[in-house]
Amino acid sequence: MTMDELKPKQSAYICSVGGAGALRHHLLDMGLTPKTEVTLQKIAPMGDPVQIELRGYELTLRLDEAQKIKVEKVHIKTEKTHGTQRVAAIEHPGVGELGRAKSYHVHDAANEIPEGAKITFALGKSELRENYAI
């Protein structure tokens, strides 16, 4: 059976990933590897694409991609019960926000273009070159 034959909420285990070259490599890179459990979440209104859940995230695939993935052991996944609900607020760490995170960008003052200097860049053809002042 192939992944495109699953019904919504059905789960299965990947037994092989078909395709060739870059497409097969791309599917494997997205985590679609043998022995991985996948669950069909949704099918688009026109039937293509489909949304699957695997390894804790959702992934959308076109039907022709899903047809290249063979699955086995079709079952209905039991819902996981979540632990106790968090009731206390947790302060946001602020990582990456302006003013709080360290800048890792290195500025090299020796290679800076002086203010007001003209720079030349090409847009593709020699007749498209332009000079602009900073």
* Tens-digit pLDDT profile for residues 43-75: 988 888 899 998 888 999 999 999 899 998 888
> What is the CA angle 63-2-39, rounded to 5?
80
DSSP 3-state of 59 = strand
Query: How far is residue 77's CA from residue 120's CA, in Å, rounded to a whole number?
Result: 61
Residue 12 pLDDT level (bands cut at 50, 70, 90)? very high
Return all residues near 39 (Cβ < 8 A) that are at least 6 apart.
9, 10, 11, 52, 53, 54, 77
What is the pTM for the complete model shown? 0.56
Fold of 3-76: SH3 type barrels. (2.30.30)
Buried b (16+ CB within 10 A) or exposed e, 88-127: eeeeeeeeeeeeeeeeeeeeeeeeeeeeeeeeeeeeeeee
Asked whether the predicted pLDDT for residue 22 surpasses 60, the reply is yes
Domain ranges across the chain = 3-76
Q: What are phi and psi of 65, to 5 degrees?
A: -75, -45
